[in-house]
Structure 1
Amino acid sequence: MELLQLRYFQKVARLQHMTRAAQELHIAQPALSQSIARLEEDLGVPLFHRQGRQIRLNSYGQAFLAKVDIALHALEEGRREIHDMNGTERGHLHIATTTLARFSEMIRAYMEEHPEINLRISQVSTEEAIPLIEAGEIDFCYTTPPIDKPGIGSVPLLREEIFIAVPPHHRLASHTLINLSEIADEPFIGMKEGTRLRGMMDQFFSSRGMKPNIVCEVDEPAALRSFVGAGLGIALLSACKREEASPLVLLPINDPNCRRTIQLAWLEKRYQSQAARSFREYVTHYFAKDAKS
């Protein structure tokens, strides 16, 4: 049994697709298939159910994958710690983000202070972020909504207010506060289902036993603001888009308390290099200082 076989098996097991695994591993599919076959021969049991070109882990494969994940993770942690000790790991960070809210400004400020850091950034969904964290494939995830799972550490960075955006001449434009119950029948411009802002909208309304009257769905905030400005409806808008909202009027929501939390999350058992520890301290301080200003 070779280390490379275990890495190949892990990739095939995660993707459940031999061709895609071969492409990501940059090897020929026949060579990958032979490697998996030799591993199964060594173990004395098949690890996959095979039906034509489709494969999926069987009970043996699931049990073996759990141990392979632990073993490869431990080896990677050892490699990182040794490299950190001799100084070769200090300049590398992989950050995933589920939102760009306030992220670009923070990263730009960080890179200006730490130009020696080799930074890799991946934009992912929350559903994609959790397995990446648990597999130890990223150092941190900048995320909203917060991730609350055993083994995943986190620190809240900021709580951001969510507003109701209305056109300047809307009947509600002169209000200083608004309750969702007052706008239950208003036509809403909403983000498409599956987006974070749409999820928040549905959650806020559901908490008061209501459903938003959505007349138009869009896939980007710029379109949402455009349709609101055209008078087609009103919408939820986060505080980070406040400067881009003009000439729309943003109304604070009194009930319910409509806010979202952005956090920095990481795998607690993952070894953190000097660069990772420094980054976490920087980001925490950055948003704490910003909250006081």
Structure 2
Amino acid sequence: MNLMQLRAFHAVATQASFTLAARTLGLTQPTLSQSVKALEERYGVLLFERSSRRVQPTEMGRRLFQLTTRLFDTEQEAATLLEGSAQLARGLLQLGADSPYYVMPLIAEFDRRHPQVEIRLSIGNAGAVLEDLSEARLDVALLSNPPVDPRFHIVPLYRDPVRLMLPAGHPLAAGDAVPVAALAGQRLVMRETGSMTRRTVERGLAEAEITPAAVFEVTGREAVQEAVALGLGLGFISAGEIRPDPRIAVRPLADCAWHTDEYVLCQRDRRRFPAIRAFIELAVAATA
């Protein structure tokens, strides 16, 4: 059995594209296509349906993909074992997150354990961070509610309730909690499209059939907090991101369970790289 042919098949099945698979393997597309075709002809099977715009594996292709996934995962494990912990004595770990508050304590602990590893952190909304992770511009990401995607190894960490921010002295801040129904007719301050907190709130408002008077959109959580402090509307924040500000009152929502779920994730085929694996294991242990 030709291992290169299996590797070509596995890359196409993973990427759902001959073009992307060829780029991943550093081959020309004709060379990769010929490898897959040779594998099919050798065993008299059809591994991909090529009639649609997106390459789809046949039933035989799906069964083979399960086997090649185990094969190349084992290959990566062997490489990781042989490389050992030496890679943790040097190198670069590029992290992304949609909030600095969750990731900074993890970075501090990782740096204490592995001081020779250089760490770079990029903060952005979840959509931008996810794109950077998918393009391998990042090694690991900490995100709220990432979409299920077979390209990623996704590990749950914890659940974070959503809180309401109000200007200090706002009538709704008089009680210990604010009913969701009280948001009807209020002006709301929302983060940009792509924010998971915004998606959570919009979904909750729609389910409760609540329509705000207006929505003021700003970029970044700091801008939301400043807008709320200056009376431009009511905003939302995850409980773990709350920082004291005398200009702002923070209250739970009385009759709902709006929340975000935090996850740590990386590209699936890179999850056993020593630095990536070490950071994910640290994140899981720290939030257990």
TM-score, structure 1 normalization: 0.67
Alignment of 1:123-134 (within 5 A): none
Give me the whole-angstrom Cα distance separating, in 2, the residues matched to 1:153 and 1:221.
24
Alignment of 1:111-122 (within 5 A): 111-117=111-117
Cα offset, 1:103, TM superposition: 0.8
Length, aligned pairs only: 269
Contact 1:90-1:273 within 8 A present in 2 as well: no
Contact 2:165-2:234 within 8 A present in 1 as well: yes
Q: What's the CA shift string for 1:237-283, capped at 9, x where partnerless? A: 123443386643323333334554435689xxx99798788656744
Contact 2:162-2:259 within 8 A present in 1 as well: yes
2:56 is matched with: 57
Q: What's the CA shift string for 1:208-252, capped at 9, x where partnerless? A: x34352624455334433543454421211234433866433233
**One-letter amino acid of the structure 1 residue matched with residue 250 of structure 2:** L
2:27 is matched with: 27
| Matched position secondary structure for 2:242 | helix
**One-letter amino acid of the structure 1 residue matched with residue 6 of structure 2:** L
**One-letter amino acid of the structure 2 residue matched with residue 57 of structure 1:** Q
Give me the whole-angstrom Cα distance separating, in 1, the residues matched to 2:121 and 2:3.
28
Contact 2:156-2:261 within 8 A present in 1 as well: no
* Closer, same or farther: CA 244–48 of 1 in aligned 2, 3 Å: farther
Give me the whole-angstrom Cα distance separating, in 2, the residues matched to 1:155 and 1:15.
24
2:10 is matched with: 10
Alignment of 1:100-119 (within 5 A): 100=99, 101-117=101-117
1:255 is matched with: 255
Give me the whole-angstrom Cα distance separating, in 2, the residues matched to 1:155 and 1:58.
29
Bigger shift: 214-223 or 176-185? 214-223
| Matched position secondary structure for 1:211 | coil
1:291 is matched with: none
| Matched position secondary structure for 1:172 | helix
Contact 1:162-1:239 within 8 A present in 2 as well: yes
TM-score, structure 2 normalization: 0.68
2:73 is matched with: 73
2:242 is matched with: 242
Q: What's the CA shift string for 1:96-131, capped at 9, x where partnerless? A: 766434113321332133214577989976xx79xx
Contact 1:163-1:252 within 8 A present in 2 as well: yes
* Closer, same or farther: CA 7–95 of 1 in aligned 2, 3 Å: farther
**One-letter amino acid of the structure 2 residue matched with residue 3 of structure 1:** L
* Closer, same or farther: CA 58–263 of 1 in aligned 2, 3 Å: closer
Unaligned stretches of 5+ residues in structure 2: none
Contact 1:48-1:55 within 8 A present in 2 as well: no
Identity %: 23
Give me the whole-angstrom Cα distance separating, in 2, the residues matched to 1:7 and 1:83.
22
**One-letter amino acid of the structure 1 residue matched with residue 210 of structure 2:** K
2:224 is matched with: 224
Q: What's the CA shift string for 1:162-207, capped at 9, x where partnerless? A: 3212234543344443222222332223345653212321454467
Cα offset, 1:71, TM superposition: 1.9
Give me the whole-angstrom Cα distance separating, in 1, the residues matched to 2:281 and 2:17.
40
Contact 2:157-2:264 within 8 A present in 1 as well: yes
Cα offset, 1:95, TM superposition: 8.6
For the pair 1:197 / 2:197, whether they are aligned, the reply is yes
Cα offset, 1:40, TM superposition: 2.1
| Matched position secondary structure for 1:45 | coil
| Matched position secondary structure for 2:165 | strand
Cα offset, 1:287, TM superposition: 5.0
* Closer, same or farther: CA 245–185 of 1 in aligned 2, 3 Å: same
Alignment of 1:43-192 (within 5 A): 43-51=43-51, 54=53, 56-59=55-58, 60-84=60-84, 87-88=85-86, 99-100=98-99, 101-117=101-117, 142-145=142-145, 156-157=157-158, 159-168=159-168, 170-191=170-191
Unaligned stretches of 5+ residues in structure 1: 133-137, 289-293
Contact 1:17-1:55 within 8 A present in 2 as well: yes
* Closer, same or farther: CA 10–285 of 1 in aligned 2, 3 Å: closer
Give me the whole-angstrom Cα distance separating, in 2, the residues matched to 1:15 and 1:282.
29
